[in-house]
Amino acid sequence: MYSRLWLDETIDNNNAVVTNNGFDADSVLLKNAVKELTTINAVSGLNISLVKCDREDLGKEGFEIEKNGDVYTVKANNENAVLFGTFRFINMIRLNKSFDAPVKEVPVSPLRMLNHWDNMDNSIERGYSGESFLFKDNDIVIDDRTVYYARVLASAGYNGVVINNVNVKQAACDLINERFIDKVNKLSELFSSYGIKMFMSLNYASPIDDPEVSSADPLDEKVIKWWEKKMAYIYSKVPTFGGFLVKADSEGRPGPFTYDRTQAEGANMLARAIKPYGGIIIWRCFVYNCRQDWRDLKTDRARAAYDYFNTLDGDFEDNVIIQIKNGPVDFQVREPVSPLFGAMPHTNEMMEFQIAQEYTGQQRHVCFLIPWFKEVLSFDIHAKDAKSDDTTVLGVVTGKTYGNALAGICAVTNTGNDYNWTGHDLAAANLYGLGRLAFEPSLSSEEIAREWIVLTYGNNEKVIDNVTKILMMSWPAYEKYNAPLGIGWMVHPEDHYGPDPDGYEYSVWGTYHKADHFAIGVERNSTGTGYSTQYNEPLKSMYEKPETTPDELKLFFHRLPYTYVLKSGKTVIQHIYDTHYEGAEDVKKMSALWQDLKGLVPDDAFERVTKRFEHQVEHSERWRDVINSYFYRKTLIPDEKGRPLY
Ligand code: GCV
């Protein structure tokens, strides 16, 4: 059993009239488009013409929708694009959008992808919404739910999905073997019938298990041949396959470093083997030393991705994309943008976000991440040697800055087999939102929120107003009651949930704030670890000094006394006290806004979200008290406003 997300219920007696003008009537993509139009309630009775055209401006995935008299026309260059246009058309009708002028939409990001961290034993790494619906008991599952999922993703504009965890467990190694390959093909065909390319994560060390090879050295002929044969086999069985996502030399995963080879040598070996079939290799840059000594003041985890990859610019094959986490550390509620986005003009790059809320409330707290993602994407990273005047992160990851055809935006997904898919009903706004944002980044966060709300709960103004307010307040609120001013990591190490200010201090993970009685933070400017020097000017100079570093990142870049006065005019310590009180208050306000919707949203959804808010109210107060007490005890500086500190 599963609930419907934003995609409308279907009915049996829809009487829409759909005509096909020029598309291949046998194409499964076209058939699926017609099926949507002839079953979905909202377009019942309409007259819709699907028209094949030949227009350069629409590209591979763009479409144009217009209305002439009573007839709606969806024009596109191919069956894939007309299916995207169909979903958009249906959503536009449901959103009451105007068709007075033709609506032309061409996706801005070439790849718009979700990465599952699903394991074959049905568990999900960092999964907060039940277990996997793609795998069960070491087998692949394909059922109604999978079909609905493919439809839902296409209707939000996604065109790629990675089905298994980047930490490839033993059982998943068989996904590229005879044992599962037919099912892999079936799943890939299902996704591609909705315009979505299916990818898998692979185990870089796979050839080691073959006694004839016993190595994973990317320059070893036997290893090269092994992968060539493997890719030929995979594509002979799974012709619609997109390629592989690889986590190598990271957190215990094997990789080219074992053989003294570079990350480029590792990626290129796979890329050459998959190239004849049009496949791509997505190579993650999450490479760092995870066995650090906290007394070592030189090694800075934030530096790692740039240090390992920046000198490899131009070395990667053209079917490799390097996938970079939005920040230099790991999906914290606030981090600077990774400097790697500004550093590699000759390399395909894509953005890795995380909508599984590992460090942002684990889908028990509401945290609408689209405003954060928009901030990251619109950040001017001053990309070096840009070929266009767009030097933003968005420009880089959509291929505009350097003219790359391969580029994209992805997120670690937040779905599981919970009835409501995402644990927290409101977390589905992140799932919808990321797809829409990657397709059309100029949409505002409010517009995206509103679309999701109307498609999910209907057109009631009060519901739209209150839920928009909740969503828009949620990420800033979470940041307020979390670790302050860009510090991050004040969570329990075992599950990354709940406040534990010293949880990661003295550990091996390289994530220290080094708070003592006088000061907090790690100096990351040129006199410190040098991290700030990885940025291009003027960012390098901006992050060099505390005075010019934005407040929200002050403690990420600098070690400062608690009495340091921020741009806001408050001291660091007073900022901490105030924001933590404010954040917990904001949660109560969000909860009250939801309570106002009783009877206006479905009862079961109302109850589920109410329960989550009960927890969030209590848990945000806990965050407030633990963090404030920690700093009060360290500093003995009282709150100017005299509120209780323990
Ligand atoms: C899939 C973080 C998570 C890990 C995850 C890793 C990654 O460290 O806690 O669970 O592993 O990121 O992105 O590879």
In a domain, 554, yes or no: no
Within this chain, do residues 78 and 128 fall inside the same structural domain, yes or no? no
Within this chain, do residues 410 and 495 fall inside the same structural domain, yes or no? no
Instruction: Using the structure block, give the residue that is written with the tokens 């050295």.
Output: 217
Give the up-direction half-sphere exposure of residue 422: CA atoms within 13 A in the CB hemisphere. Answer: 27
**Among candidates 108, 155, 113, 168, which has minimal Cα distance to 411?**
113
In a domain, 8, yes or no: no
Instruction: Using the structure block, give the residue that is written with the tokens 């990885």.
Output: 534
Catalytic machinery residues: 251, 330, 358
User: Is the CB–ligand 1 distance for residue 75 below 6 Å?
Assistant: no
What is the phi/psi pair of residue 74, to 5°? Answer: -110, 115
Average pLDDT over residues 177-183: 96
Where residue 255 sits, what CATH number does that domain have? 3.20.20.80
Q: Cβ(502)–Cβ(604) under 8 Å?
A: no
| End position of a domain, from candidates 105, 121, 156 | 105
In a domain, 465, yes or no: no
Within this chain, do residues 81 and 125 fall inside the same structural domain, yes or no? no
What is the phi/psi pair of residue 147, to 5°? Answer: -65, -45
List pLDDT tens digits, range 342-362. Answer: 999 999 999 999 999 999 999
Amino acid (1-letter code) at residue 43: V
Please give the mean pLDDT across all residues of the chain.
97
SS3 at position 606: helix
Closest C-alpha residue for ligand 1 atom 9: 126
Within this chain, do residues 84 and 174 fall inside the same structural domain, yes or no? no
User: Is the CB–ligand 1 distance for residue 352 below 6 Å?
Assistant: no
User: Is the CB–ligand 1 distance for residue 581 below 6 Å?
Assistant: no
Average pLDDT over residues 289-317: 94
Q: How far is the CA of 436 from the centre of ligand 1 (A)?
A: 25
Please give the angle made by the CA atoms of 176, 318 and 29, to the nearest 5 degrees.
60
In a domain, 606, yes or no: yes
**Among candidates 118, 107, 4, 6, which has minimal Cα distance to 412?**
118
CB atoms within 10 A of CB 445: 22
Closest C-alpha residue for ligand 1 atom 13: 286
Within this chain, do residues 217 and 364 fall inside the same structural domain, yes or no? yes
User: Is the CB–ligand 1 distance for residue 369 below 6 Å?
Assistant: no
Q: Cβ(484)–Cβ(555) under 8 Å?
A: yes
Determine the Cα–Cα distance for residues 76 and 86; give it in Å rounded to an integer: 10
Q: Cβ(565)–Cβ(555) under 8 Å?
A: no
Q: Cβ(18)–Cβ(59) under 8 Å?
A: no
Q: How far is the CA of 471 from the centre of ligand 1 (A)?
A: 26
Domain span at residue 594?
484-522+559-635
pTM, 2 dp? 0.98
DSSP state of 546: G
Within this chain, do residues 89 and 121 fall inside the same structural domain, yes or no? no
Determine the Cα–Cα distance for residues 146 and 401; give it in Å rounded to an integer: 36
Where residue 590 sits, what CATH number does that domain have? 3.90.1330.10
Q: What's residue 170's pLDDT?
A: 87
> Of the residues 204, 247, 251, 285, which should be mutated to test ligand 1's pocket, given the most ligand atoms within 8 Å of the CB?
251
Within this chain, do residues 32 and 148 fall inside the same structural domain, yes or no? no
Determine the Cα–Cα distance for residues 623 and 137; give it in Å rounded to an integer: 37
Reading phi first (left if > 0) and then psi (alpha if -120 to 50, else beta), residue 373 is in alpha
Determine the Cα–Cα distance for residues 584 and 198; give it in Å rounded to an integer: 41
Q: Which atom of ligand 1 is nearest to the CA of 325?
A: 13
Closest C-alpha residue for ligand 1 atom 8: 330
Amino acid (1-letter code) at residue 248: A
CA distances 4 to 1, 91, 308, 310, 581, Å, are: 10, 15, 44, 44, 37
Closest C-alpha residue for ligand 1 atom 7: 286
**Sheet of 103-105, strands arranged across:** 17-21, 47-52, 71-76, 63-68, 103-105
User: Is the CB–ligand 1 distance for residue 27 below 6 Å?
Assistant: no
Determine which of 3-17, 49-63, 441-455 has the lowest per-residue pLDDT on average: 3-17
Q: What is the C-alpha radius of gyration for the chain, rounded to an integer number of angstroms?
A: 25
Q: What's residue 171's pLDDT?
A: 86
Q: What's residue 297's pLDDT?
A: 84
CA distances 643 to 39, 55, 216, 388, 629, Å, are: 58, 64, 60, 52, 11
User: Is the CB–ligand 1 distance for residue 72 below 6 Å?
Assistant: no
Q: Which atom of ligand 1 is nearest to the CA of 167?
A: 1
User: Is the CB–ligand 1 distance for residue 384 below 6 Å?
Assistant: no
Q: How far is the CA of 515 from the centre of ligand 1 (A)?
A: 25
Closest C-alpha residue for ligand 1 atom 3: 126
Model confidence at 12: pLDDT above 90: no
List pLDDT tens digits, range 446-466. Answer: 999 999 999 999 999 999 999
List pLDDT tens digits, range 562-614. Answer: 999 999 999 999 999 999 999 999 999 999 999 999 999 999 999 999 999 99
Within this chain, do residues 453 and 507 fall inside the same structural domain, yes or no? no
| End position of a domain, from candidates 105, 128, 154 | 105
Within this chain, do residues 136 and 25 fall inside the same structural domain, yes or no? no
In a domain, 427, yes or no: yes
Q: How far is the CA of 352 from the centre of ligand 1 (A)?
A: 12
Within this chain, do residues 208 and 309 fall inside the same structural domain, yes or no? yes
Determine the Cα–Cα distance for residues 616 and 598; give it in Å rounded to an integer: 19
Q: What's residue 548's pLDDT?
A: 98
Q: How far is the CA of 286 from the centre of ligand 1 (A)?
A: 9
Q: What percent of the chain has pLDDT over 70?
A: 100
Model confidence at 397: pLDDT above 90: yes
Q: Which atom of ligand 1 is nearest to the CA of 126?
A: 10
In a domain, 131, yes or no: yes
H or E element at residue 115 = strand 111-115
Q: How far is the CA of 494 from the centre of ligand 1 (A)?
A: 13
User: Is the CB–ligand 1 distance for residue 167 below 6 Å?
Assistant: yes
User: Is the CB–ligand 1 distance for residue 400 below 6 Å?
Assistant: no
Within this chain, do residues 99 and 135 fall inside the same structural domain, yes or no? no
Amino acid (1-letter code) at residue 147: V
**Among candidates 608, 599, 609, 610, which has minimal Cα distance to 458?**
599
Copy the structure tokens of residue 450: 């509103």
Q: What's residue 205's pLDDT?
A: 94
Q: How far is the CA of 500 from the centre of ligand 1 (A)?
A: 19
In a domain, 47, yes or no: yes
Residue 645 pLDDT level (bands cut at 50, 70, 90):
confident
Residue 206 pLDDT level (bands cut at 50, 70, 90):
very high
Average pLDDT over residues 256-268: 97
Closest C-alpha residue for ligand 1 atom 12: 330
Q: How far is the CA of 166 from the centre of ligand 1 (A)?
A: 8
Closest C-alpha residue for ligand 1 atom 2: 330
Q: How far is the CA of 119 from the centre of ligand 1 (A)?
A: 13
Determine the Cα–Cα distance for residues 255 and 472; give it in Å rounded to an integer: 41
Q: What's residue 13's pLDDT?
A: 82
Give the up-direction half-sphere exposure of residue 9: CA atoms within 13 A in the CB hemisphere. Answer: 7
Where residue 100 sits, what CATH number does that domain have? 3.30.379.10
Determine which of 157-166, 287-296, 367-376 has the lowest per-residue pLDDT on average: 287-296
User: Is the CB–ligand 1 distance for residue 169 below 6 Å?
Assistant: no
CA end-to-end distance (rounded Å), the chain: 46
User: Is the CB–ligand 1 distance for residue 123 below 6 Å?
Assistant: no
More confident residue, 107 or 14: 107
Q: What's residue 99's pLDDT?
A: 96
H or E element at residue 429 = helix 428-439
User: Is the CB–ligand 1 distance for residue 126 below 6 Å?
Assistant: yes
User: Is the CB–ligand 1 distance for residue 247 below 6 Å?
Assistant: yes
List CB contacts of 155: < 8 A, sequence separation 6 or more: 6, 7, 87, 90, 91
Q: How far is the CA of 451 from the centre of ligand 1 (A)?
A: 31
| End position of a domain, from candidates 457, 476, 504 | 457
Determine the Cα–Cα distance for residues 12 and 3; give it in Å rounded to an integer: 19
What's the domain count of the chain?
A: 3
Within this chain, do residues 123 and 229 fall inside the same structural domain, yes or no? yes
Q: What percent of the chain has pLDDT over 90?
A: 96
Q: Which atom of ligand 1 is nearest to the CA of 354?
A: 13
Can you state the percent helix, strand and coil of the chain, rounding each to 5?
40, 15, 45
Q: Which atom of ligand 1 is nearest to the CA of 125?
A: 10
SS3 at position 322: strand
SS3 at position 324: strand
Q: Which atom of ligand 1 is nearest to the CA of 165?
A: 1
| Beta pairing, strands 519-520 & 560-561 | antiparallel
Q: How far is the CA of 489 from the centre of ligand 1 (A)?
A: 14
Model confidence at 157: pLDDT above 90: yes
> Of the residues 117, 126, 323, which should be mutated to test ligand 1's pocket, given the most ligand atoms within 8 Å of the CB?
126
Q: What's residue 8's pLDDT?
A: 82
Residue 230 pLDDT level (bands cut at 50, 70, 90):
very high
> Of the residues 330, 351, 489, which should be mutated to test ligand 1's pocket, given the most ligand atoms within 8 Å of the CB?
330
Q: Which atom of ligand 1 is nearest to the CA of 496?
A: 9
Model confidence at 92: pLDDT above 90: yes
In a domain, 640, yes or no: no
